[in-house]
A and B are shown apart, each in its own frame.
Chain A
Amino acid sequence: MSQPAPAFAPAAVRCPHCGREIRYFDVQQSTFFGCPECHTFFEQAAGGASKQLRRFKQYPKPPRPLALGSTGQLAGETYRVTGYQWRCEAKGPDYRWEEFQLRHETTGASRQLAVYQGHWLLIEPTAEQYKPDKEGSITTTEHNFQLYNRYSPRVLYAEGEFDWNILADESLKISEYIDPPQMLVRERNASKHDTWYLARHLEPAEVAEAFSVPLTQLPDRNGVGAAQPAPGGTAWPQLRTAALLMALLVVLTHVALMKWGNETVFNQEFVSPAPAPGALEVPERPMQVSPSFTVPGTGALTVDLWASVDNSWVEIPYALVNEQTGQQFAATSSLEHYSGVEGGESWQEGNREAATLLNQVPAGRYHLNFYPLADPVKAEQVQFRATVQARATAGSNAVLALVLLLLYPAYMYFRRAAHENTRWSNSDFGP
């Protein structure tokens, strides 16, 4: 929705090609003009004759995101849109962007507002001089800019007023260095004189609010902007450090809990006798009852069972019985171990040891009832050992805490990585 320039533009020139009157604001400085009617770019020096410099063959389809002559508030300062350019890279004609020439309403200072695929940059000149290192980095006290793009521009179209010959920019070599949300732009002319600009990423909503236009009037955002901050913004260093510190704290606490707990309160070996000769080949073996032992405090218990199985299996369901209350806890451990030699190579599988964890076992006197079952085809005695540790530490608690603590930072990490990957995929240079 392009709006006409307000009528109070103080001066006007006539297009030397079509004769259309072009009104303009910077009476002192503007000497180059683009005609919106016939797309002629010409020079009109004060008091001199006009000179046609180029007639543009193509021009972007309206509507323009920002109208010539409109004003906006950026960082508390009022700027007026006085010129519009449509540019592309000399070696990449498909890389096209728009530039709006801004003029400070009171000081006359110039700024550019550039938009590429919906990503906005506010560009202003800087008196600072920078010296990139061999890797293409510029390091300052607060920033580390990385070389992102290098090109020469071509002007596809221009309209409005300019205080320099924008067509002469086609001989410039432009280098862009980024440290999102900022960008340093170096313009180097044929005599190797450098001019530096500092650009800052703007969100489309900021531009829309600044120029009082609906957000839908601005071009849709596509991909990742050169200086667009990664998700998480400036909070990422704090988030990363806090997450790693908390993860370390969980690990240290888990180690401390392991040292504090895991007190062995019962440790004894049992022998399940071989079935009598001629007995039915059933897996059940006689029940075994352990002596009493004391669980000193309410908490988790680990019951570790080990059995002397060799090319056989034993399954030991057991019950932990509170002798004062009759409360029971039950679990089953399956132990098996097989080994042999096959094709000249020895092999083994299974495990002779298994641990189970019982939750929130109250303090008190307990005993264990074992109900062993063994391989019915192997009528031999089975020896097994039971070890009970009180105040057992559950590693799964630490794992759960770590997962919860690291889930969001990990999500942000991968989002940021994808963001950077997309950003640098548009660059010929990489970090």
Chain B
Amino acid sequence: MDWLRSLWKIRFYALFAVLVYSGFVWAGLSGLRLLGDDNEAEPNRNGTARTGGSRGRVMYFHK
């Protein structure tokens, strides 16, 4: 109990930590990758997607 009370000294960090953890859990449950995405598709009307071939061999492909 005393330790919990002593958290008042770090209330701003504690609040920040709770927000970060909440965001992490939410991202995990909703399948959100917070740092980037491997998806190279740019949705458009005719269904054509462009890719950026990682070795430079591929510039685009067609559905």
Residues of A within 8 A of B (CB): 234-235, 238-239, 241-243, 246, 249-250, 253-254, 257, 283, 297-301, 315, 317, 319, 321, 326-332, 334, 356-361, 369, 371, 373, 391-394, 396-401, 404-405, 408-409
Q: Contact at B58–A393, with CB atoms within 8 Å? A: no
Measured CB to CB, the closest approach of chain A to B26, in angstroms, equals 10
Total B residues in contact with A, Cβ cutoff 8 Å: 42
Q: Contact at B17–A242, with CB atoms within 8 Å? A: yes
Q: Contact at A250–B24, with CB atoms within 8 Å? A: yes
Measured CB to CB, the closest approach of chain B to A87, in angstroms, equals 37
Q: Which 10 A-B pairs have the closest CB atoms?
A: A299-B31, A330-B41, A300-B31, A401-B24, A356-B38, A235-B9, A396-B35, A359-B37, A394-B33, A257-B28
Given contacts A328-B63, A330-B51, A358-B39, contact A235 B28 (CB under 8 A): no
Q: Please report which residues of chain B, range 12-63, place their CB below 8 angstroms from some CB of chain A when the two chains form the complex.
A: 13-14, 16-17, 20-21, 23-25, 27-41, 43, 47, 49-55, 57-58, 61, 63
Which residues on B sit within 8 Å (CB–CB) of A373? 57-58
Contact of B14 among A242, A299, A361 (CB under 8 A): A242
Measured CB to CB, the closest approach of chain A to B1, in angstroms, equals 14
Query: Bound complex: CA of A237 vs CA of B35, how far in Å?
Result: 31
Which residues on B sit within 8 Å (CB–CB) of A369? 63
Residue of chain B at shortest CB distance from A313:
B55
Measured CB to CB, the closest approach of chain A to B16, in angstroms, equals 8
Measured CB to CB, the closest approach of chain B to A428, in angstroms, equals 34
Residue of chain A at shortest CB distance from B50:
A330
Which residue of B30, B33, B38, B53 has the most chain A CB atoms within 10 A of its CB atom?
A: B38
Query: Bound complex: CA of A243 vs CA of B61, how far in Å?
Result: 47
Which residues on A sit within 8 Å (CB–CB) of B41? 319, 328-330
Which residues on B sit within 8 Å (CB–CB) of A330? 39-41, 49-51
Give the A-B contact count at a CB cut-off of 8 A. Answer: 142
Q: Contact at B51–A300, with CB atoms within 8 Å? A: no
Main secondary structure of the interface of B (DSSP, over half): loop
Query: Bound complex: CA of A297 vs CA of B20, how far in Å?
Result: 24
Known: A235-B9, A249-B21. 13 other contacts (CB 8 A): A235-B10, A238-B7, A243-B13, A243-B17, A297-B31, A319-B63, A330-B50, A331-B38, A332-B53, A357-B33, A358-B39, A396-B33, A409-B13
Q: Contact at A332–B9, with CB atoms within 8 Å? A: no
Which residues on B sit within 8 Å (CB–CB) of A400? 24, 34-35
Which residues on A sit within 8 Å (CB–CB) of B24? 250, 253, 397-398, 400-401
Which residues on A sit within 8 Å (CB–CB) of B51? 317, 330-332
Q: Contact at A399–B35, with CB atoms within 8 Å? A: yes
Query: Bound complex: CA of A334 vs CA of B51, how far in Å?
Result: 13
Q: Contact at A298–B6, with CB atoms within 8 Å? A: no
Question: 20 A-B contacts, Cβ less than 8 Å apart?
Answer: A235-B10, A238-B3, A315-B54, A315-B55, A317-B51, A317-B61, A321-B63, A328-B47, A328-B49, A330-B49, A332-B58, A357-B38, A359-B33, A360-B30, A361-B31, A371-B61, A394-B33, A396-B34, A400-B24, A401-B23
Query: Bound complex: CA of A297 vs CA of B28, how far in Å?
Result: 13
Query: Bound complex: CA of A288 vs CA of B59, how far in Å?
Result: 19
Q: Contact at B57–A238, with CB atoms within 8 Å? A: no
Q: Contact at B53–A317, with CB atoms within 8 Å? A: yes
Contact of B34 among A250, A315, A394, A409 (CB under 8 A): A394
Which residues on B sit within 8 Å (CB–CB) of A250? 21, 24
Residue of chain B at shortest CB distance from A399:
B35
Q: Contact at B37–A358, with CB atoms within 8 Å? A: yes
Query: Bound complex: CA of A200 vs CA of B3, how far in Å?
Result: 26
Query: Bound complex: CA of A68 vs CA of B20, how far in Å?
Result: 55
Contact of B21 among A326, A328, A359, A401 (CB under 8 A): A401
